[in-house]
Each structure stands twice: as structure tokens, then as C-alpha cells.
């Protein structure tokens, strides 16, 4: 993931579109089968102007034994009346599976709409799923929607970590943060760990709205250690 973040930083310096009414579509699709599989993908865009439409998507599918999937989208938008959509979808079937999906967004302007979604599905033994969305909005009348979905069917150790984070500076903004995690164990009793957090910070307490929800389910046999931790947090004003 550190290499992926570094790649995003480089791309942000290289990719830039500056004018009004642009349409930016970025899509990466990967499909692979075999033994040891590693998939890594990143989209990045910097857009300046008004009435722009930005769409970023990563789709990864893998069938094998040891599977690692990393997908990320990053966007910086400066202007008004822009629309941004970011999505990461990962699917894997194997023995040892690691999935990491991330969306990062920074918006400076008014009346913008943004949606971030990470979806992960894994069927195997040792499964580690990590998904997060982070958004920063400076302006008025903006809308941000963040969604996470992780599903694992396993017969060994399973770990799910999900996080939505939003930083808002302005008035009359709307933020919706949702997540769902599900783990179904097979014939073997093994530990399950699910962790989720929705965090929002509002600098100006003027007409902003926050909606946070999460749903976690773990189904396993007797004697299994299952740990579930969830947190919804909103901070209003300078902290």
C-alpha cells in the first residue's frame, strides 16, 4: 500500500486538466488466474474549472492460490458544480487473499457532488480485507457519499477493516457514510476480526448534515473468537 500511495502522489503531479466543462473518465480492469497473483492499479486526476465530470474506476478479478489486490483512485477538484465518482471493485478466489481498496478526494468549491465506493469479495482461507474512503471538502452546498462493502467466505483467519473519513469546511454540506461487512466461515473454526469506523469533522457548524451507518455480520461455529468493533464519530467546530 505504501508503494501505491507513492504512485498516486506521482500521478497527481503528472495529470492535470484545467478548463470548464471537461469530462474525465479513467478505468482499469484486471483479470488473472494462476498461482501467485499480484494486481495493482491506480487512477489520479487534477481538475480545475466548473461543470466538470470525473469518473474513476478500478475492477480486479483473480483466481489462484496466493492473491494480492491493490486498487486506488485519487482526485483533486477545484471549481464549482463538479461531479466526481470513484469506485474500486475487487473479487478473489484462492487460499491466501489480501485486498486493499482506497478512494481519496479533495474538493475546493461550491455545489459539487462526489461519490466514493469500495466493494470487496473474497472466497478462500486466510483473508485480509482493507477498504477506506477519505474526502476533504472546502466550500458550500456540497454533497459527499461514501460506501464500503466487504464480504468474505473463509475457513481460516479473516480480518476486515473499513474506514470512511470526511473533512468539511463550509456551510450546508451533506455527508452520507455507510459500510457493511459480512464473514461466513466454512468447515473450520477460526478467529474473525471486523473493524469499522465512520469519522466526520465539520469546521463550520452552519447547516451541515451527517448520516452515518454500519452493519457487520459474522457467522461461525462454536468456540470461535469473533471480534467486532464499530465507531461513528462526528466532530463539530475546530478540534
Instruction: Please give the Cα distance from 12 to 38 (Å, whole number).
Output: 23
Contact partners, residue 112, CB within 8 Å, separation at least 6: 77, 79, 80, 81, 82, 83, 84, 137, 139, 142, 143
Assigned C-alpha cell, 128: 485480509
At 17 the pLDDT is 46
Instruction: Please give the Cα distance from 58 to 209 (Å, whole number).
Output: 29
Confidence bin at 18 (pLDDT 50/70/90): very low
Report the predicted TM-score, pTM, of the whole model to 2 decimal places: 0.87
Q: What percentage of the chain has pLDDT greater than the value 90? A: 54
At 157 the pLDDT is 81
Q: What is the CA radius of gyration of the chain?
A: 19
Structure confidence by residue, pLDDT tens digits, 120-177 = 999 988 899 999 999 998 888 889 999 999 999 887 788 999 999 999 888 888 899 9
Mean pLDDT in residue range 79-106: 94
Amino acid at each position: 500500500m505504501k508503494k501505491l500511495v507513492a504512485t498516486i502522489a506521482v500521478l497527481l503531479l503528472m495529470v492535470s486538466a484545467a478548463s470548464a466543462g471537461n469530462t474525465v473518465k479513467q478505468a482499469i480492469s484486471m483479470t488473472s488466474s494462476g498461482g501467485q497473483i499480484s494486481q495493482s492499479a491506480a487512477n489520479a486526476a487534477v481538475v480545475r474549472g466548473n461543470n466538470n465530470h470525473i469518473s474513476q474506476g478500478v475492477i480486479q478479478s483473480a483466481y489462484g492460490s496466493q492473491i494480492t489486490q491493490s486498487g486506488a483512485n485519487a482526485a483533486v477538484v477545484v471549481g464549482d458544480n463538479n461531479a466526481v465518482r470513484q469506485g474500486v471493485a475487487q473479487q478473489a478466489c484462492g487460499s491466501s487473499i489480501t485486498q486493499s481498496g482506497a478512494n481519496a478526494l479533495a474538493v475546493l468549491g461550491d455545489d459539487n457532488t462526489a461519490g466514493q465506493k469500495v466493494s470487496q469479495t473474497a472466497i478462500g482461507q486466510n483473508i485480509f480485507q482493507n477498504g477506506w474512503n477519505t474526502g476533504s471538502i472546502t466550500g458550500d452546498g456540497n454533497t459527499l457519499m461514501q460506501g464500503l462493502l466487504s464480504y468474505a467466505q473463509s475457513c481460516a483467519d479473516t480480518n476486515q477493516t473499513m474506514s470512511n473519513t470526511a473533512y468539511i469546511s463550509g456551510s450546508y454540506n451533506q455527508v452520507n457514510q455507510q459500510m457493511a461487512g459480512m464473514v461466513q466461515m466454512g468447515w473450520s473454526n477460526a478467529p474473525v476480526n471486523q473493524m469499522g469506523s465512520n469519522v466526520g469533522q465539520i469546521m463550520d457548524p452552519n447547516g451541515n448534515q451527517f448520516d452515518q451507518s454500519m452493519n457487520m455480520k459474522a457467522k461461525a461455529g462454536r468456540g470461535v473468537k469473533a471480534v467486532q468493533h464499530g465507531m461513528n464519530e462526528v466532530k463539530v467546530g475546530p478540534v
